Amino acid sequence: MARHSGGRGWYGKLVGAALGVTLVATGASVWTAQAGAAGGSSPKATGPAASGGDVKPVAATIAHASQEGKRGVNLTIDDGPDPVWTPQVLDVLREYGVKATFCMVGTQAQAHPDLVKKVVAAGHRLCDHSVSHDTAMDKNSEAYQKRQILDAERMITKASGGVRPMYYRAPGGAFTPYSRKLAASRGMRPLGWNVDTKDFERPGTDVIVATVERELSNGPTLLFHDAGGDRTQTVAALRRLLPRLKEQGHTFGFPVR
């Protein structure tokens, strides 16, 4: 899984100046975490929602495999939800009967709860993609990482009407041992990818399709985006790839947990 930087500039402009206000206004102080020492003790959440009877810890290793086995494909959609592009992606997925995992940015989920609920209603899974998509968050303190992960978890859960994210994907792959343990302690399996379509760079629909076909042998988890700019090429590529991969005997499913 190579480092991925797509989208950082867009979210930096959108969120950077207001991030402190957003975190305070949405109650960021609800959560605290036990900072790992050099050896790294497991983070521990405290506060009103910490008991979380339905929260079961999962493995802290980064997942890439599919629950569908060797012919499985995990379609993952990052950076939304977006009022223009998420509905179009949902339409394509519905047309071909494909389920996907939506890695949502907390501020986007908070701004578009109707779309989060539509994603859930369609049978897709949710993934925590941090509050503000800071691809350098692994360079920041554990306290900062904690706020980014747990505040986004709460934002997404509230926007969905109570459905919690099942995975955590670090922006740009900026995982740390601490962030993986923290997410896993909240029942969110750290989620990587095997094929970066680079659709964020808008290389052309043909290039996106060719990238998937060339690199799918690397592993089953595909990275696409439904926010951060014009996603016309992404939608077009999905419309070509989904039936083609099905014809080749692939089954779309979810990443292992």
- The predicted pLDDT at position 54 comes to 79
**Domain map (residue ranges) of the chain:** 74-253
In DSSP terms, 191 is beta-bridged to 63
Sign of the torsion formed by the C-alpha atoms of 82, 83, 84 and 87: positive
| Interval 7-27: pLDDT, tens | 444 444 344 433 333 333 333
- Please give the mean pLDDT across all residues of the chain: 85
**For residue 40, pLDDT beyond 50:** no
Instruction: Categorize the per-residue pLDDT at 66 as very low, low, confident or very high, splitting at 50, 70 and 90.
Output: very high
| Interval 131-178: pLDDT, tens | 999 999 999 999 999 999 999 999 999 999 999 999 999 999 999 999
Instruction: Categorize the per-residue pLDDT at 1 as very low, low, confident or very high, splitting at 50, 70 and 90.
Output: confident
**For residue 45, pLDDT beyond 70:** no
* Residue 36, phi then psi, degrees to nearest 5: -75, 140
The DSSP string of 155-221 is HHHHHHTSPPPSEE--GGG---HHHHHHHHHTT-EEB--SEE--GGG---HHHHHHHHHHHGGG-SE
- The predicted pLDDT at position 95 comes to 98
- CATH 3.20.20.370 for the 74-253 domain, yes or no: yes
Residues that are catalytic: 78, 225
Whether residue 193 contacts residue 222, with contact meaning beta carbons closer than 8 Å, is answered with: yes
